[in-house]
Amino acid sequence: MTFDTAIASLKQGEFVMIYDSDGRENEIDMMVAAEFITPEHIARMRQHAGGLICMAIGNELTKKLELKYMHDILSNSNDLDLDSKNMIMGTAPYGDHPTFSLSINHKRTYTGVTDSDRALTIKEIANLCRLITLKSSLHHHSKLLVTFHYYLHQMGFYLLGKDILKCQFT
């Protein structure tokens, strides 16, 4: 699949599969544009991928939303002793800090774990980010991607994610 084909698929609300690398996690991630997410997308990721369901947000939007990486939040916490911090603050076997932030649920969700609740949260975060982006610049449209297990911040994913996030899906 070419980059252009992948973008065309994302624009149609379809999944794109991305392989990370042999020496790293050695897995394939499922990716779909957040603005097109449905409960059926969530169910498919949950049933066929089996890992975490995450949302990637571009750096400019994370700054505007004041989102921090979880390892930064925990390292600055006064509620954790040094042993606990050392246990959870290390790097992954491939040498990077985890690139996760907060786990969130939309206020209209009930438990946040159903496919419908997850899709609602993701779609509403995409809408919020679209509004923030439109207010800051009419020419720069960062979009969100939902991906199985990974935040597009390591190795080739980071560069690919940056390029994809710059694409205009609608």
- Report d(CA 41, CA 58) in Å as an integer: 21
- Here the tokens at position 67 are 């989102």
**What DSSP character marks residue 45?**
H
pLDDT at position 75 is 82
Predicted confidence (pLDDT) at residue 50 exceeds the cutoff of 50: yes
How many other CB atoms are found less than 10 A from the CB of residue 78? 5
Which class in CATH covers the domain with range 3-67+102-165?
A: alpha beta
Q: How far apart are CA 46 and CA 49, in angstroms?
A: 6
Q: What are phi and psi of 19, to 5 degrees?
A: -90, 130
Q: Tell me, yes or no, if the pTM score tops 0.75.
A: no
Q: Which residues are 31's β-sheet partners?
A: 16, 147
- Dihedrals φ, ψ of 74, to 5°? -70, -40
Instruction: Give the pLDDT confidence score for residue 68 in this predicted structure.
Output: 83
- The pLDDT tens digits of the residues spanning 67-122 come to 888 888 888 888 888 887 777 777 777 677 777 778 888 899 998 889 999 999 98
- Mean pLDDT (whole number) for 161-170: 54
pLDDT at site 107: 92
Instruction: For 108-162, write each residue's pLDDT tens digit.
Output: 999 888 999 999 998 988 888 777 766 654 433 334 444 433 333 334 444 455 5
